[in-house]
Structure 1
């Protein structure tokens, strides 16, 4: 089926409009600020090309760390959130307090402690990134189960299921809704924090490339790496959107007319 150009543009105009706005702001910045503070758009785009063609190794290192840490946080957070919802009287109450303590500890504290405690760089970055992302999935899945329709729970109770049957038949499918919604908002934050952790506690990766660019006052490279991360974030969100449409295709979207 061939899509009509006008219909496609009507549905997908927001992304190119946002990109053009961003490029316009870069152009205005290059006109109003000194060149050593704010390079031209051409210099910034040239830095992007340089990164993609010659500095792709640090990018792959960062993306590898990101995928591993985020996947572990999703699986662990989803599993514990499910168990909290199924056994909320004791395990749920206990883990809520544990999660609250983990969330209350500043990210910088985790980074500094990891630098002192963990010698291996990969384990250090995984440790800090996992601990920051993990609580968001735990709380989201748990709260999503708590907010389930009571009528649905009462209907399931008519069949006298045991706790594990309720978990498998009802809670697991329901948890996917809040899990994917949380992934949408947490994915970008996790990537930004991981780059920050690399800046402080790693010797390679995108974070260290930011550090080198700042030390040599290469503003064009800083903005170039920023654009690369923005593009990656768009790709990640697109992947999540596709996963949401496939996994949650039974949900209908409410549109305000």
Structure 2
């Protein structure tokens, strides 16, 4: 009756051999292709270093003015601009400016990569039900896999540093970008598409002039969610050498420094709120503009 109480499983030797085979195979793959993969991602490393140096070497008043101008352009709301400026001034006053700029540079690069990859994939999913049925389970796994697990293969392939951190963040944060791009394009009114067909629009012209503009509010929601998930990954990415606000939080956890962790955690929250308010306000403006044009 042991089988009734104890779930049948692979014997220990077979399970050990299976795990060893997979681990050895991945190590061989790393040794054979790690250098080539690292060279492939070198432009990404250069881009991250460029953006980080740009933000760090630019005088803080100028950075503050530029971010406030972006907030105004996106939202047209004085309250969001004032909130953004006050948050950044407090971050600088508590000596977290440099770490914040490092984090912002990483989020900007990760978001750009997520858009560059996620937008075409979402468009292809919207055009093919078969492709959607293939990619959806992959996205489900990406969204439910514990975030620490992403670090293991990335570190084995690329070691410790900026690029592995960016890749881990992008893998974790890209699913909303893909899903909402797919959803936004599928929700475009069929009557509008038929009108475009009646005017002789090609498939590319329909995508560029009709589908993407009408799906922009939904795509902006995807960008917003991608940014939020990237910020949530900041502390975990600091474990593999990503500089920014995550490293002081990790140091505070290891050494039980309450105020260090609290202040840097609040700075991450502040940056998240700034990104969230700006992107959401811009999405609402796009929605109102499109309703005015097509309504």
- Structure 1 length-normalised TM: 0.69
Question: Is the 1:82–1:171 Cα contact (8 Å) retained in structure 2?
Answer: no
Question: Which protein, 1 or 2, shows the higher relative CO under an 8 Å CA cutoff with sep ≥ 6?
Answer: 1
Aligned to 1:76: 117
CA RMSD between the two structures? 3.2
Structure 1 unaligned regions, length at least 5? 1-10, 17-47
Work out whether 1:121 is the aligned partner of 2:157.
no
CA distance in 2, matches of 1:237, 1:50: 17
* Residue 266 of structure 2 is aligned to residue 227 of structure 1: yes
Kept after mapping to 2: 8 A contact 1:82/1:175: no
- Determine the C-alpha separation between the residues in 2 that align with 1:226 and 1:101: 28
Structure 2, unpaired ranges of 5+? 1-77, 84-88
Which stretch shows the higher mean deviation, 48-57 or 235-244? 48-57
Q: Measured at CA, do residues 100 and 163 of structure 1 come closer, stay the same or move farther in structure 2, by a change above 3 Å? A: farther
Asked whether the 8 Å contact 1:77–1:134 carries over to 2, the reply is: yes
Q: Aligned ranges for residues 127-206 of structure 1 at < 5 Å?
A: 127-198=167-238, 200-202=239-241, 204-206=243-245
**Cα distance in structure 1, aligned partners of 2:171 and 2:181:** 16
Higher helix share: 2
Native 8 Å contact 2:142 2:171 kept in 1: yes
CA change 1:89–1:212 in 2 (3 A) is closer
Once residues 204 and 186 of structure 1 are traced to their aligned partners in structure 2, the CA distance between those partners, rounded to angstroms, is 20
Residues 62 and 205 in structure 1, CA contact (< 8 A), matched pair in contact too: yes
The equivalences for 1:75-114 within 5 A come to 75-85=116-126, 87-89=127-129, 91-114=131-154
Partner Cα distance (1:84, 1:100) in 2 = 15
Q: Shift of residue 108 of structure 1? A: 1.8
CA contact (8 A) 2:111 2:226 kept: no
After superposition, give the CA deviation of every residue in 1:20-56 in whole Å (9 maximum; x if it has no partner).
xxxxxxxxxxxxxxxxxxxxxxxxxxxx979745443
* Distance in 2, Cα, partners of 1:50 & 1:159: 53
